[in-house]
Amino acid sequence: MATDFSSIPLIDVSALLAKCDDPKMGEDPGVLEVVRQLDKACTEAGFFYLKGHGVSDALLKEVKDITRRFFELPCEEKTKIKMTPAAGFRGYQRVGENITKGTPDMHEAIDCYKEVTRGMYGDLGKTMEGYNQWPQNPPKFKVIMEEYISICTGMLSHPFIPIPMILFPGVEFFILMMILLVRAELARKIMRGIALALGGSPDEFEGQRAGDPFWVMRLIGYPGLTTTNGTHEAMKNDIGCGAHTDYGLLTLLNQDEDINALQVRNLSGEWISAPPVPGTFVCNIGDMLKIYSNGLYESTLHRVINNSPKYRVSVVYFYETNFDSAVEPLDTIRTRKNGTKKFEKAIYGEHLVSKVLTNFVDV
């Protein structure tokens, strides 16, 4: 239910994060104020900036820097982890390989998904079966990205063991400490606030709905206007990433701090810019949350146009439902007030697979 918003609101979620696992969180005035702001932002724009999230500026920067260093490598090096259907569509895609609604996107990317072992979700999961392809170069890429993912997800995709420093001679002490200390459980906690905003219990998105959340991460590089990277010379208004909605619950976007390229569409069809706000994530609602909220919250269309001369990097993390969740409008007072159920049941895994299978050329 987006409106004619003209800017994206900024929400400081520190009060929510502090009380998030307190059984009385729903009575805390600080939490309730964050919940009110989340509700307003999700209803009016489907987009908001997130501050007070507890993830350090150094880590936000480190994941973008290491991604940029990967994209600077020669093509032969990058295609060592080329995305293939056999890897469950995980890996590197060159500029133009990803398509949105039939048009090639002017970006290169590494796609990562929660790993799906053989038979894990039966036929539903077959397309996504596979392991992430991490580059050897730059060194420590895998370790830094996996820790970032676990901070966003709120649970570990592998058992967490505080690994002795000696195993990581190349990682600066402060980065490792930062990674080990800041276990933000970010997306899960924001979803607890959103559950309250929808008039439900804070646990609404745990258990069968999103207690074992699927996640996706895209590391994206958008060539600048004057950049020639051997295969592509970007033109003004080339679409870096075509207009789309995200598929799951909540997206946490960590974008380059000095380039204004992300645009969000309001109800009248105007493209509103979402410029970088240092130290924040840009968050947006995905298709599954639109269904859970019975359309109260919008999965808003957005796109990327990099008209800057600089190469732009974004690290995009998508927090999803359980892979096999059957998603339908929640039965809370607020969603009921929005009228009869506006959506049929959707299986998240089917929705994801249908998108993945139409997103690429020549694979």
Site of interaction with ligand AKG (CB under 6 A): 218, 220, 241, 246, 253, 255, 262, 302, 304, 314, 316
Which partner in Fe ion, ligand AKG, none is near 262 (CB below 5 to 8 A by kind)? ligand AKG
Q: Considering beta carbons, is residue 150 or 314 the nearer one to ligand AKG?
A: 314
Full DSSP string of 272-297: EE----TT-EEEEE-HHHHHHTTTSS
Q: How far is the CB of 162 from Fe ion (least distance, A)?
A: 34
Taking each continuous run of H as one helix and of E as one strand, the counts in the chain are: 12, 16
Q: Considering beta carbons, is residue 97 or 246 the nearer one to ligand AKG?
A: 246
Which partner in ligand AKG, Fe ion, none is near 38 (CB below 5 to 8 A by kind)? none
Distance CA 148, CA 157 (A): 11
Q: How far is the CB of 255 from ligand AKG (least distance, A)?
A: 5
DSSP H helices in 126-239: 141-153, 173-181, 186-197, 207-210
Binding site for Fe ion (CB under 5 A): 246
Which partner in ligand AKG, Fe ion, none is near 45 (CB below 5 to 8 A by kind)? none
Q: Considering beta carbons, is residue 304 or 352 the nearer one to ligand AKG?
A: 304
Q: Considering beta carbons, is residue 25 or 220 the nearer one to ligand AKG?
A: 220
Which partner in Fe ion, ligand AKG, none is near 78 (CB below 5 to 8 A by kind)? none
**Beta strands 47-51 and 10-12: pairing type?**
parallel
Q: How far is the CB of 203 from ligand AKG (least distance, A)?
A: 28
Q: For the range 26-31, what are the long-range contacts, defined as Cβ-Cβ under 8 Å and sequence gap of 24 or more?
A: 26/196, 26/201, 26/202, 31/193, 31/196
Q: How far is the CB of 262 from ligand AKG (least distance, A)?
A: 4
* C-alpha to C-alpha distances, 347 to 41, 324, 353, nearest whole angstrom: 26, 6, 10
Please name the helix (run of DSSP H) or strand (run of DSSP E) that holds residue 33, with its range, or none.
helix 29-44
Q: Considering beta carbons, is residue 246 or 298 the nearer one to Fe ion?
A: 246
Which partner in Fe ion, ligand AKG, none is near 218 (CB below 5 to 8 A by kind)? ligand AKG
> What value, to the nearest 5°, has the Cα angle with vertex 317 and ends 165 and 18?
70
Which partner in ligand AKG, Fe ion, none is near 143 (CB below 5 to 8 A by kind)? none
The CB-nearest residue to ligand AKG is 314
Please name the helix (run of DSSP H) or strand (run of DSSP E) that holds residue 124, with its range, or none.
helix 122-125
Q: How far is the CB of 244 from ligand AKG (least distance, A)?
A: 6
Q: Distance from first CA to last CA of the chain, Å, rounded? A: 36
Q: Considering beta carbons, is residue 114 or 218 the nearer one to ligand AKG?
A: 218
Q: How far is the CB of 284 from ligand AKG (least distance, A)?
A: 8
230 φ/ψ sector (left φ>0, alpha ψ -120 to 50, else beta): left
Phi, psi dihedrals of residue 39, rounded to the nearest 5° = -60, -45
For the chain, the 3-state helix, strand and coil shares in percent, each to the nearest 5, are 35, 20, 45
Q: How far is the CB of 15 from ligand AKG (least distance, A)?
A: 27
Q: Considering beta carbons, is residue 44 or 108 the nearer one to ligand AKG?
A: 108
